[in-house]
Amino acid sequence: MKRLALPGTAMSICLFAFVIGCSPQKPENQSGPRPVKVVRVGSESVNKITAYAAEVQARHETALSFRIAGKVIARPVEVGDHVRKGQVLAALDTGDDQLAVQALTAQVRAAEAERRLAGDELNRYRELLAQQVVSQADYDRRETADIAAKERLEALKAQLGLAVNRLDYAHLTADRDGAVTALAADSGQVVSAGQTIVKLARLDEKDVCFDLPEQRLADIKPGQDVRVTLWADRDKTINAPIREIAAVADSASRTFRIKATLPEKQDDLRPGMTATVWLASNAPERIAVPLSAVFTSQSEPKQPKVWRVDEQSATVKALAVQTGAALAGERIAVTGLSGGELIVSAGVQRLTEGQSVRLLETTKP
């Protein structure tokens, strides 16, 4: 069998390749510091401001009703009317009550006559008892009759007073100056005692009311000012201090009713007008950084981190942060950083703890 002989040149090439493959490779990290893009953390915090739909309401609004039942014969006011204290808002038919007053007045007069007669007889029997003409038992009967006549007269006077009061109750009057905001009965309607007839609101004190979700309750407190704008006049801004925070959430919406007091002498603000309340968050300071600057390691997959650059040694160190809401411009709010610090903004997955870096450019977040 013949053996094929390799030319000298081919033999040299194979030997060179073998030597190269067996020689140690130069480590990659010996190529020098890794170039990175960095960002200078600003000192401006991210304050979230949320808008809530609100409504202007009168602070004091009363549902007025009759204290007795009856038929409405007059209702001289309409919605929107301004009324004065003591002005009649509605009236009931008083025919039966007037007859009751007349009957009780006659009964009181009769009882007064009986009371005088019982008193005169008691005085005569007192004299006769002193003369020992009548017995003690006869005197006691006259004394008892006098007491009974007196008490019967007092009872009839009380009944007459109630009947007179019913005549007054038949007229529904305004208990304060204000404006009529709602009507629930009309002339000719038979109403029951306590049924709402008129709603009356005071116009000197007004509130702006809005509903707040439970996660925002920590951002407000009584006396804190909120910014209010009106849909009817968006250029007008009003500062209103929070007056009341509901103690219990609404059973349907699970939100809390908040009331803020509007300044006085705001005649252009009418109950029922729509407004917007702007509420700023009181959450801890949060700084915005690029999304590309945040990473997680395999050892701690649930802990967000950023690479902080030590400008003296030009090395990086992982710093744990807490992330918040995503922001515009591919940014995210974080806590755990201070203003002025330098962090890596790109290529964060290729870095290791303490690695030397070379800064390419510095940008603002």
Strand partners, 357: 34
Lowest mean pLDDT segment, chosen from 262-266, 270-274, 324-328, 333-337: 324-328
CATH number at residue 42: 2.40.420.20
Residue 132 is given by DSSP the state T
Write out pLDDT tens, residues 308-338. Answer: 999 888 899 999 998 877 777 788 888 888 8
pLDDT of residue 339: 77
Instruction: Confirm whether 206 is domain-assigned.
Output: yes
Instruction: Confirm whether 16 is domain-assigned.
Output: no
Read off the pLDDT band of 146 (50, 70, 90): very high
Last residue of a domain, one of 221, 256, 280: 280
Do 291 and 327 share a structural domain?
A: yes
Do 272 and 301 share a structural domain?
A: no
Instruction: Confirm whether 66 is domain-assigned.
Output: no
* CA distances for 136 relative to 44, 126, 127, 262, angstroms: 104, 9, 12, 78
Tell me the pTM: 0.55
Do 264 and 291 share a structural domain?
A: no
Both tokens of 167, joined, read: 């005549």
Instruction: Confirm whether 78 is domain-assigned.
Output: no
Domain count, the chain: 3
pLDDT of residue 109: 96
User: What percent of the chain is modeled with pLDDT above 70?
Assistant: 87
Write out pLDDT tens, residues 176-219. Answer: 888 998 999 999 999 999 999 999 998 888 999 999 998 888 88
Phi/psi class of residue 127: alpha, beta or left (left: φ > 0; alpha: ψ in -120 to 50)? alpha
CATH number at residue 163: 1.10.287.470
Do 121 and 98 share a structural domain?
A: yes
Do 305 and 247 share a structural domain?
A: no
Do 289 and 258 share a structural domain?
A: no
Do 163 and 115 share a structural domain?
A: yes
Instruction: Confirm whether 350 is domain-assigned.
Output: yes
Both tokens of 239, joined, read: 């500062």
Do 290 and 357 share a structural domain?
A: yes
Residue 78 is given by DSSP the state -
Q: Residue 41: how many CB atoms within 10 A of its CB?
A: 21
Domain carrying residue 347: 31-46+285-363
Instruction: Confirm whether 110 is domain-assigned.
Output: yes
Do 216 and 157 share a structural domain?
A: no
What are the phi and psi torsion angles at 126 (to 5°)? -70, -40
